[in-house]
Amino acid sequence: MAGFLFWNVRGRRLEPVLRRLTSRHKIDVLMLAECTIPEDSMLDALNANDRESFRRVPALASRGLDLYSRFDQGCFGSVLKEADHYFIRTLTPPGGIEIVLAMAHLASPSYKDLRARHSRFIGFASDIRDVERAAGNDRTVVVGDLNVNPFDDALLDVRGLSALADRNTVLRKDPRRFGRRQVEEFRLFYNPMWSHFGDAVQPAGTYYYDKSNPEVDPLWNIFDQVLLRPSVLDRFRNKNLKILTTDGTVSFIWDDGRPNGDVYSDHLPIWFQLDLRRRTSYASN
């Protein structure tokens, strides 16, 4: 199983926390947004245990997107698409299958309204399709702080990422077709983050914000997401995705469940595993 962790760390120096998280959850690929931790300091922390062998995988995207991995750098293909807010490359773990990994920290609601963010998604989705064609591989995984909620149009629009809440529906309806004479086809993603909304399973989201005070506002948001193409769904089990609130030593949340942005980040990290081994029988959910 390949372990992944994504966290928008809000520019905080959280080396000890990241060391504990990567060890506790056996993380192979550590993806960070708003990361200002110097490479040397990060590697000292991640490799404090002699058995670890994390290295930084360079990327040019801005907004503090940073990628560290236990996998050899050769496991990561060259960056196939890159923009200010995302990069897309292939990843082939040792002894595993190749996936397309799109890592993003998309435009913030602080600077772009929902329509503008929606517009950005059209371009992001187009770049993903271009990479899938170029790589001849549609085992695509999108990870990041997307700065929209799963229910926002940007994620539901077929010209956006078209990410739905139910894997069976995704498998049945992919691709969605529109038009009678000129049929347009749109690929779907499965968005497992839908299942993490609300208080049935704590925490109620990955990001809480109550400062702007509009009349219509969920307050709890899930901006930090993992989206999967149908062709990788048999590699993913829902129980292998969690929003984390502790590293086993410290808590990232206040007593009332909101992220402790004063000390850690106003976002919570997400952990997930994919079974990327080459094999003939696959996991089912």
Partner 1 sequence: MPATDLWPDFQAPEAVNSPVFLLKEQAAKLKEKTKGLVLAGLRPASAPDGSFWVGFDLYSPALGEYTYRLFAITYPPEFVPVTLSDADGARKVETLDQFKALLESVLRSPRTKQVIEAIMAQATALGPEESSSYTPGILKD
Tell me the closest approach of the beta carbon of residue 265 to partner 1, in angstroms.
11
Tell me the closest approach of the beta carbon of residue 249 to partner 1, in angstroms.
5
Tell me the closest approach of the beta carbon of residue 69 to partner 1, in angstroms.
22
| Tokens 């003939």 belong to residue | 280
Q: What is the DSSP string of 260-283?
A: -TTTS-SB--EEEEE--B--SS--
Residue 99 falls in which region: left (phi positive, over 0), alpha (psi -120 to 50) or beta = beta
User: Quick check: 223 and 193 in contact, CB under 8 A?
Assistant: no
Nearer CB in complex with partner 1: 119/260: 260
Beta 140-145 vs 99-105: how paired, if at all? Answer: parallel
Nearer CB in complex with partner 1: 16/123: 16
Tell me the closest approach of the beta carbon of residue 75 to partner 1, in angstroms.
29
Q: How many chain residues interact with partner 1 (CB under 8 A)?
A: 15
Tell me the closest approach of the beta carbon of residue 256 to partner 1, in angstroms.
10
User: Contacts with partner 1 in 236-265 (CB under 8 A)?
Assistant: 249-251, 254-255, 260, 262-264
Strands (E), 92-219: 99-105, 140-145, 163-164, 176-178, 184-186, 189-190, 207-208
Sign of the CA dihedral running 217, 220, 224, 230: negative
User: Contacts with partner 1 in 5-44 (CB under 8 A)?
Assistant: 12-17
Nearer CB in complex with partner 1: 134/263: 263
Nearer CB in complex with partner 1: 10/277: 10
The footprint of partner 1 (CB under 8 A) covers: 12-17, 249-251, 254-255, 260, 262-264
